[in-house]
Amino acid sequence: MIEFNTHPDRYRHWTLSVEGGVARLALAVDNEHPFKDGYELKLNSYDLGVDIELSDVVTRLRFEHPEVKALVVTSQLDRVFCAGANIGMLSASTHPFKVNFCKFTNETRLALEDLSHNGGIRTLAAVNGPCAGGGYELAIACDEIHLVDDNSSAVSLPEVPLLGVLPGTGGLTRLVDKRKIRRDLADVFSTLAEGVRGKRAKKWHLVDEVWSRTKFGEKVQARAEEIASSGEDRSDRQGIEWKPVERQIGEDDGKVTYSYKYVDLLVEPAERKATLTVKTPDGAQPQTPGDLQAAGCEAWFLRAFKELDDALCQLRFEHEDIGLVLLQTRGSLDAVLDAEKALVGMLDSSWLARETVSYVARVCRRLDLTAKSFFALLDRESAFGGVLLELALGGDRIYGIDDPDHPVHLAIGPLADGHLPMSNGLTRLQSRFLADPEHAAKLQKEQPRLDTTEADEQGLLTFLVEDIDWDDDLRIACEERVSLSPDALTGMEASLRFGGGETCDSKIFGRLSAWQNWIFTRPNATGEQGALVCYGKPETATFDWRRT
């Protein structure tokens, strides 16, 4: 099983240091400890293990070191920044692993960007040596890029000329959407295997500053201190411990169970489906900033969504054949709504409340971006209120039981009003009602509590199912879904979940889901004589030159 929990004491590849308002994160990949045997992590190339640590750092900074306002991302190796994703790892990996690895890596890059956008921590990439592929994608996820000018250090995206694939974590999109580099210059840059150095890199806006090697460290540090000294004073903020997820894993009759405090995951490989259950708070939740600080990671919002995040990662990497996830909730509708209202009431006065909401938003987007079908089930025991209804709205279908003797309710909560944006920048209600934005605004404002009949009338259900037909209708729906092509479903869901205008984020994931899924399986990349397979070998790639 892949362990997504880690701690700075167990990092093998990254070193984090904090001094006042400046944090420094330095990469020195341990070549002796790849994520899997069979390849060497040379030149600070990375694999999933390196990215798991980076993901932990980015989140941990926000909760344990709230005083930080500037983060410098650099390398501990002399004259090497990062060579990108390890080619040996990619070449030896299964196709699903490659795509899930690219997706996890990009979600980590997005978390780094969110560190600045919503966490108020500006990020500087201090590129002290050659910076290629995923290494440059790490750099362009930062707010500023400072490059050493030593006639050998260059930035590059060499995937097209060297590997026959695309930058897998949004490099092309960030070039033109985020850094707004001219299309012709981006074209040249993306086909130059050797990359671009020094003054030309700055002229083309591939980097922000270029410094001689003698001045490089001094200039980067001065810029970080300048950022840290500006803006709000955070010195009085007290961080909380970012605790690991606790779970128990069991296996019986071919079925696998993951049991957390607030989340349960049942995986049924024979049926290619899983059931993901999220439980509401089971005790009093923080009502004041002081309460929230004291509760730390044990507050329901943080613990439940940390557990949900882990369960989603396990589903992606450990259970590739699972195509359908049935989403359930259990507990008290009032309990989750009360906790949500209290949390929203603290947003203006508590940095921890704001970070909690930002974290929950990222986990919700992880669900949105997971390549599984999600059917939410509003049955007699469900408690789809507030943020839990957001999970249902982020899925593909919502089934509600029609039982006049035991009415089932759902409720829209205050977080629905723009606090948990999807990758397309819209709320889930706005995405659902693209043709009727006034209706979405009305629901967000009124935050009604509705039974399933009323919810169906308001357009919040896909199907309202009579109680006598519930079991049969769901069985048929599940059997039909898992019988369909998983490739077609992945492309379909990625297209349908994010309607409306595109953002940089939604473009990246749309292309990753469609183009990389296709290009990674083409003979030109991964055939016997494909570029990815032949990389580093004496023979050159053989291409089928037809454009399709």
CATH of the domain at 167: 3.90.226.10
Asked if 272 and 263 touch (Cβ cutoff 8 Å), the reply is no
Asked if 14 and 112 touch (Cβ cutoff 8 Å), the reply is no
422 lies in the same domain as 292: yes
Pick from 270, 494, 255: which is nearest to 374 by CA?
A: 494
Instruction: Report yes or no on 524 lying in a domain.
Output: no
Phi and psi at residue 484, to the nearest 5°: -85, 160
Instruction: Report yes or no on 523 lying in a domain.
Output: no
What DSSP state is assigned to residue 161? I
Pick from 420, 329, 422, 338: which is nearest to 377 by CA?
A: 329
Instruction: Report yes or no on 498 lying in a domain.
Output: no
Q: How many residues does the chain have?
A: 548
End-to-end CA distance of the chain: 39
14 lies in the same domain as 153: yes
* CA distance readout (Å), 423 to 166, 176, 504, 547: 21, 18, 8, 31
369 lies in the same domain as 467: yes
Phi and psi at residue 519, to the nearest 5°: -65, -35
Instruction: Report yes or no on 539 lying in a domain.
Output: no
pLDDT of residue 1: 86
Report the distance separating Cα 497 and Cα 16, nearest Å.
Answer: 37
Neighbours of 22 (CB within 10 A): 20
317 lies in the same domain as 377: yes
Q: In which order are the strands placed within the sheet that holds 324-330?
A: 248-252, 255-259, 263-268, 273-279, 324-330, 373-378, 397-402, 463-466
Neighbours of 144 (CB within 10 A): 20
pLDDT of residue 191: 97
Domain boundary among 474, 491, 508: 491
Pick from 134, 122, 89, 74: which is nearest to 532 by CA?
A: 89
User: Which structural domain range is residue 166 located in?
Assistant: 8-228
- The bridge status of strand 144-149 relative to strand 122-127 is parallel
Instruction: Report yes or no on 206 lying in a domain.
Output: yes
341 lies in the same domain as 254: yes
Instruction: Report yes or no on 515 lying in a domain.
Output: no
pLDDT of residue 334: 97
Instruction: Report yes or no on 398 lying in a domain.
Output: yes
In this structure, what token pair is assigned to residue 119?
């966490």
- The bridge status of strand 263-268 relative to strand 248-252 is unpaired
pLDDT of residue 510: 82
Domain boundary among 491, 514, 537: 491
218 lies in the same domain as 341: no
Neighbours of 318 (CB within 10 A): 14
pLDDT of residue 255: 97
291 lies in the same domain as 437: yes
Neighbours of 437 (CB within 10 A): 13
Annotate 486-514 with DSSP letters as a single string. HHHHHHHHHHHSS-SS--HHHHHHHHIII
212 lies in the same domain as 281: no
pLDDT of residue 508: 87
Instruction: Report yes or no on 509 lying in a domain.
Output: no
Position 542, amino acid: T
462 lies in the same domain as 336: yes
106 lies in the same domain as 45: yes
Q: In which order are the strands placed within the sheet that holds 209-212?
A: 14-19, 22-27, 70-75, 122-127, 144-149, 209-212
299 lies in the same domain as 417: yes
Q: 95-123 burial by CB neighbour count: b if 16+ within 10 A, else e?
A: ebbbbbbbbbbbbbbbbbbbbbebbbbbb
Position 39, amino acid: Y
- Per the structure, the count of domains in the chain is 2
pLDDT of residue 115: 97
In this structure, what token pair is assigned to residue 395?
């899925």
314 lies in the same domain as 438: yes
pLDDT of residue 378: 98
Residue-by-residue pLDDT tens, the chain, 548 positions? 899 999 999 999 999 999 999 999 999 999 999 999 999 999 999 999 999 999 999 999 999 999 999 999 999 999 999 999 999 999 889 989 998 999 999 999 999 999 999 999 999 999 999 999 999 999 999 999 999 999 899 999 999 999 999 888 899 999 999 999 999 999 999 999 999 999 999 999 999 999 999 999 999 999 999 999 998 889 889 999 999 999 999 999 999 999 999 999 999 999 999 999 999 999 999 999 999 999 999 999 999 999 999 999 999 999 999 999 999 999 999 999 999 999 999 999 999 999 999 999 999 999 999 999 999 999 999 999 999 999 999 999 999 999 999 999 999 999 999 999 999 999 999 999 999 999 999 999 999 999 999 999 999 999 999 999 999 999 999 999 999 999 899 889 988 999 998 999 998 888 777 777 788 888 999 899 999 899 989 999 999 998 88
